[in-house]
Amino acid sequence: MRRILIWLIVLVVVGVCAGLFITRPQTLPASELAAGYHPDVANGQLMFTAGNCSACHTAPGQSDRTQLAGGLKLKSPFGTFVTPNISPDPKFGIGGWTEAEFVNAMKRGTGRHGEHLYPAFPYASYSLMKTTDVRDLFAYMKTLPAIAQPTAPHEIHFPFNIRLAVGGWKLLYFHPHEFVADPKKSAAWNRGEYLAEGPSHCAECHTPRNALGGEEMAQLYDGAPNLEAGGRFASNITPSKDGLGDWSAQDITDFLKSGTDKCFNEPDGMKDVIASTSKLPDADNAALGEYIHALPAIAGNPKHKTC
């Protein structure tokens, strides 16, 4: 009996160690960040705009979208996440971060101290970005104002405050891979897919999630009734009858540029997004319009049709 108990203990210890090893925070190989790279700051600004970084990281009430002090509270079924200061302040922001630390946060969801980051930060989408685009983004963000303002801690309760558990979430739902263009599609469609699925992370808001916060991939883009606890509804943007079925690619492009839909409404929920997409090059908005218009039609949420 004693021998059986010892073996059970050994198996449990081995299992726990194996689980911790499999779900450990991951980083990119050093070869991904080859020395001698000269960042394209203008492209970094484009990635910043496409990613709509200001929507979450501008302090509440701050109108200057380059003041990235954070502090926005994102309520969720798991608690309230507080967006961090990502200005180049060396103490309270990311001014003391290395490029590698920034890239690993963006593409692997691993913090600068080797910790798992909560997926309220949409690294599942950012992992698709080209590493050069992320390096350019970091270079651009270092040109923005440094804000010496601390960030309040997340308001997350047990067991969701155990960061080790995020490793299990990643094992289930986080499958990082860099974007690969589809040679059968047009250059514009591929650009639209890259922007939508990567930096712009459209699916993060417009796709419903399960009880663990994983995206319901069978309902991709068909609307998210629980975008935020008690918050707004993200519409179905697939070309179904209760989505954007009667919109053309040009209608979508025009909306991303102007913020006014084909029914002459100005949807409140998209204000922060339009604040960024309206500044994108026309070709990029057209690419997004082409890609979104070509999504598979999925019915869902007829009470929340866009117009």
For 86-127, the pLDDT digits (tens) are 999 999 999 999 999 999 999 999 999 999 999 999 999 999
Overall average pLDDT of the 225-233 stretch: 60
- For residue 159, say if its preceding peptide bond is cis, omega within 30 degrees of 0: yes
Any residues with CB less than 8 A from the CB of 198 and at least 6 apart, and which?
125, 126, 128, 129, 179
Q: How far is CA 200 from CA 54, 268, 299, in A?
A: 12, 18, 23
| pLDDT, position 52 | 95
Burial label, 16 (beta-carbon count in 10 A; 0-12, 13-18, 19+): exposed
Any residues with CB less than 8 A from the CB of 221 and at least 6 apart, and which?
202, 203, 206, 207, 236, 237, 238, 243, 292, 295, 298
| pLDDT, position 7 | 59
Q: CB of 209 within 8 A of CB of 215?
A: yes
Reading the block at residue 186, the tokens are 């047009």
- pLDDT tens digit sequence for 36-47: 899 999 999 999
Question: Is a pLDDT exceeding 80 seen at residue 268?
Answer: no
